[in-house]
C-alpha cells in the first residue's frame, strides 16, 4: 500500500539507506562505495542479500535463522558466465560432433528450465509472508550506545519510533512489550533512574510506566476518546440507535459520571485522574505501558501520542512532497526537544489528529457528533475513522467474497484520512466492529480486504489494503501477513492497471 523508497546519507564513501531492504537496490552505486541498509520490514529482498559487494544489510544475528533465507545457488544463476566460457572453448577446439553439442545444449536448457521452476517456488515460499522486525529507531539507539553517543533525547526518539509500530497496527502489543523489555530496558535504567529528582525546566526525563491504550485521552475529553476507541465502541456498539444508552450504562458501571468524562481530562484533580486511570486499566486488557516524557514540573506527554501526531505530519496531505512532510515532522520533534520547549507544533499535530473538520455525506449515523440528515461535519482523525466504520457497518458495506470479506467505498477519502496510518486504523477497527455485530465464526477466520477511493489528483484510483483474520492476529505474535503477496498475484493474473513504485508486501 505504501511505497518503499531509498533514503540515502553519504560522506562520499559510505552510504546508509532507509526503507530499502524489501526493494532491489538497482541504482548506480559509486565505485569504492558501500550502502548500509537498515529496515524493519521483512522479508529482505534476495538480490540485496546476495549482492555481496556494495550493499550491506544491517540485521540482528539472532534474526538470521528466522528469516529462512534460501541458498544462494537456488535463487541466483551462477552458471551463465561459466556456460559462455565453455561455449567459446567448444568453438576453439572444433573437434566435437555437432549432434553431441546439440544434445548437451538441450540438456542444459532443460536443466535451466527445472532450476527456474524450483527458483520460482522457493522465492514464492520465501516472500509468502511479510512482517515487521525491530524498529529502526531502536536499532539506531543501540548503535549510538556502541559509539558512546546515546542520550536521553535519542532514547525518547527511539521510544517514539517503537510506539509508531504499535499505533500503526503493524506489531502486536505483546511484541511491543517484548521489545521494551528486551531492547529498551538497559536505556530505561540508564536514563530514567527511579531516584532521580532533577526537575529543571529544560531537563528531559523519560519514564516507562503504565498507560492507557486510549489515543489522545489526556489531550481532550475522556468521553470523546472512549467513544472513538475500538474497545469501547465495539463493546457498546455505539454506532447503533441503542449506542448512546449503552455508553452511559458502561460509564455508570465503571463509576464515571457523564459530566466529568465530558470535561477535559486534565481538568480533573490529580487524585481523580489516578482513580479513573486505575479503573480503565482494569477494563482495557491486556495491560499497556509506554514511555512518558517529563519536562520540568508538570509537562507530560506519552510516546504513543507523539507517534500519532507525527504520523499526521509524515503521511498527509498525500499530494505534498515527501521531503516537505518529513521536514514538517522533524520540526515538530526539534521544537519539542530543544531547550525552553515549544509545544505549539506538537499540540497542533494532536489537534489535527483529533479535531480538524471535514465534510462527509451520509445518512444520519452519529449519536455523538452533531448530525443532520444530508451532510455531517465530522471531526477528522479518530472521529472521522469512527464515522467511516459506523457507516460501513450500519449500511452493511462489508460483503463476503469467497475466502475473504470485502469493503469497497466509492466515496473519495479526505486527504487527511487517506494516510497509511489512518487507513490501517480504519481497516483494523472495521474488522473488529464487523465481527462484533454478529458472532459468526467465519468473521474471525477470513481476512478483510479494503478498497478506498482517493481524492484530488488521485481521483479515480483506489488504495487497497487488508488485515489478516482476527484468529490469526490473536495467535501470531509477529502479525505475519500474506495479503501483500496475494494482491501482487491478483494484479498479475487479472492484468490490472496498478499505479506503484513497487508493491509493498507490508501493506498490512
**Residue 365 — pLDDT band, cuts 50, 70, 90?**
very low
Domain range for residue 88? Answer: 77-126
Are 356 and 336 in contact, with CB atoms under 8 Å apart? no
Residue 221: predicted pLDDT: 87
**Residue 322 — pLDDT band, cuts 50, 70, 90?**
confident
pLDDT tens digits, residue range 372-390? 332 223 235 788 889 899 9
In a domain, 230, yes or no: yes
Cell numbers representing residue 39 in the block: 529496515
* pLDDT at residue 98 is higher than 90: no
- Candidate from 111-115, 162-166, 504-508 with smallest mean pLDDT: 504-508
Residue 55: predicted pLDDT: 85
63 and 99 assigned to the same domain: no
481 and 338 assigned to the same domain: no
Q: What is the mean pLDDT of the chain?
A: 80
Measured distance CA(337)–CA(353) in Å, rounded: 20
191 and 325 assigned to the same domain: yes
Residue 426: predicted pLDDT: 93
Across the range 444-454, mean pLDDT stands at 91
Residue 402: count of CB within 10 angstroms of its CB:
7
225 and 342 assigned to the same domain: yes
68 and 84 assigned to the same domain: no
Note every long-range contact of 467-475, with CB atoms under 8 Å and residues 24 or more positions apart, other chains counting. Answer: 467/169, 467/427, 467/428, 467/431, 467/508, 469/444, 469/445, 470/431, 470/432, 470/435, 470/443, 470/444, 470/445, 471/444, 471/445, 473/172
300 and 447 assigned to the same domain: no
Q: Which residue has the cell 509524515?
A: 314
In the chain, what percentage of residues exceed pLDDT 90?
34
279 and 410 assigned to the same domain: no
20 and 33 assigned to the same domain: yes
In the chain, what percentage of residues exceed pLDDT 70?
77
In a domain, 469, yes or no: yes
In a domain, 87, yes or no: yes
* pLDDT at residue 135 is higher than 80: yes
Residue 276: predicted pLDDT: 92
* pLDDT at residue 341 is higher than 70: no
**Residue 430 — pLDDT band, cuts 50, 70, 90?**
very high
In a domain, 171, yes or no: no
Residue 304: predicted pLDDT: 93
In a domain, 175, yes or no: no
**Residue 250 — pLDDT band, cuts 50, 70, 90?**
very high
In a domain, 485, yes or no: yes
193 and 281 assigned to the same domain: yes
Across the range 169-186, mean pLDDT stands at 91
Higher pLDDT, 411 or 361: 411
96 and 119 assigned to the same domain: yes
Across the range 277-284, mean pLDDT stands at 92
Across the range 90-96, mean pLDDT stands at 49
Residue 26: predicted pLDDT: 62
Distance of CA 232 to the CA centre of its chain: 22
195 and 51 assigned to the same domain: no
In a domain, 366, yes or no: no
Residue 226: count of CB within 10 angstroms of its CB:
26
Measured distance CA(350)–CA(61) in Å, rounded: 38
225 and 101 assigned to the same domain: no
- Candidate from 238-252, 320-334, 395-409 with smallest mean pLDDT: 320-334
In a domain, 139, yes or no: no
SS3 of 27, please?
A: coil
Residue 361: predicted pLDDT: 33
Residues forming a β-bridge with 330: none
Residue 417: predicted pLDDT: 73
Across the range 471-493, mean pLDDT stands at 78
Q: How many domains, the chain?
A: 4
Residue 439: predicted pLDDT: 78
Residue at which a domain ends, from 357, 378, 411: 357
pLDDT tens digits, residue range 292-311? 988 766 678 899 999 998 88
**pTM metric for this prediction:** 0.83
**Residue 6 — pLDDT band, cuts 50, 70, 90?**
very low
Measured distance CA(373)–CA(94) in Å, rounded: 88
pLDDT tens digits, residue range 189-246? 888 766 555 555 556 788 898 999 999 888 888 998 999 999 999 999 999 989 889 9
Amino acid at each position: 500500500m505504501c511505497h518503499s523508497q531509498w533514503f540515502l546519507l553519504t560522506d562520499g564513501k559510505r552510504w546508509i539507506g532507509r526503507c530499502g531492504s524489501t526493494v532491489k537496490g538497482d541504482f548506480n552505486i559509486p565505485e569504492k562505495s558501500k550502502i548500509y541498509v537498515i529496515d524493519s520490514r521483512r522479508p529482505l529482498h534476495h538480490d540485496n542479500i546476495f549482492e555481496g559487494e556494495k550493499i550491506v544489510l544491517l540485521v540482528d544475528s539472532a534474526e538470521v535463522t528466522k528469516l529462512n533465507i534460501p541458498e544462494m545457488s537456488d535463487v541466483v544463476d551462477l552458471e551463465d558466465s561459466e556456460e559462455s566460457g565453455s561455449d567459446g572453448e567448444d568453438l576453439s577446439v572444433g573437434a566435437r560432433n555437432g549432434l553431441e553439442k546439440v544434445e548437451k545444449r538441450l540438456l542444459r536448457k532443460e536443466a535451466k528450465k527445472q532450476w527456474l521452476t524450483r527458483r520460482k517456488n522457493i522465492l514464492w515460499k520465501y516472500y509468502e509472508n511479510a512482517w515487521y522486525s525491530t524498529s529502526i529507531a531502536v536499532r539506531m539507539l543501540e548503535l549510538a550506545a556502541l559509539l558512546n553517543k546515546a542520550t536521553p533525547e535519542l532514547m525518547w526518539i527511539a521510544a517514539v519510533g517503537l510506539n509508531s509500530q504499535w499505533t500503526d497496527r503493524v506489531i502486536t502489543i505483546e511484541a511491543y512489550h517484548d521489545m521494551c523489555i528486551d531492547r529498551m530496558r538497559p536505556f530505561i535504567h540508564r536514563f530514567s533512574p527511579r531516584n532521580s529528582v532533577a526537575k529543571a525546566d529544560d531537563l528531559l526525563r523519560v519514564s516507562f510506566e503504565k498507560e492507557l491504550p486510549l489515543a489522545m485521552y489526556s489531550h481532550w475529553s475522556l468521553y470523546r476518546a472512549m467513544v472513538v476507541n475500538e474497545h469501547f465502541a465495539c463493546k457498546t456498539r455505539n454506532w447503533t440507535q441503542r449506542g448512546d444508552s449503552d455508553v452511559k450504562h458502561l460509564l455508570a458501571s465503571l463509576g464515571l459520571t457523564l459530566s466529568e468524562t465530558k470535561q477535559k481530562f486534565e481538568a480533573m484533580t490529580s487524585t481523580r485522574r489516578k482513580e479513573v486511570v486505575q479503573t480503565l486499566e482494569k477494563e482495557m486488557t491486556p495491560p499497556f505501558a509506554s514511555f512518558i516524557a517529563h519536562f520540568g514540573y508538570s509537562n507530560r506527554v506519552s510516546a504513543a501520542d507523539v507517534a500519532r501526531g507525527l504520523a499526521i505530519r509524515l503521511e498527509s496531505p498525500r499530494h505534498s512532497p515527501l521531503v516537505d512532510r518529513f521536514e514538517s515532522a522533524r520540526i515538530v520533534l526539534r521544537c519539542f526537544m530543544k531547550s525552553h520547549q515549544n509545544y505549539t507544533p506538537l499540540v497542533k499535530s494532536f489537534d489535527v489528529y483529533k479535531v480538524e473538520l471535514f465534510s462527509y455525506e451520509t445518512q444520519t449515523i452519529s449519536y455523538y457528533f452533531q448530525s443532520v440528515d444530508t451532510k455531517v461535519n465530522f471531526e477528522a482523525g479518530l472521529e472521522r475513522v469512527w464515522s467511516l466504520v459506523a457507516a460501513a457497518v450500519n449500511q452493511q458495506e462489508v460483503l463476503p467474497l469467497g475466502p475473504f470479506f470485502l469493503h469497497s467505498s466509492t466515496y473519495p477519502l479526505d486527504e487527511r484520512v487517506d494516510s497509511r496510518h489512518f487507513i490501517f486504523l480504519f481497516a483494523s477497527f472495521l474488522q473488529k466492529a464487523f465481527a462484533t455485530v454478529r458472532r459468526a465464526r467465519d468473521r474471525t477466520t477470513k481476512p478483510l480486504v479494503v478498497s478506498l477511493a482517493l481524492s484530488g489528483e488521485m481521483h479515480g484510483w483506489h488504495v487497497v489494503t487488508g488485515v489478516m483474520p482476527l484468529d490469526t492476529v490473536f495467535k501470531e505474535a509477529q502479525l505475519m501477513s500474506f495479503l501483500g503477496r496475494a494482491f501482487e498475484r491478483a494484479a498479475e493474473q487479472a492484468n490490472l492497471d496498478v499505479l506503484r513504485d513497487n508493491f509493498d508486501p507490508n501493506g498490512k
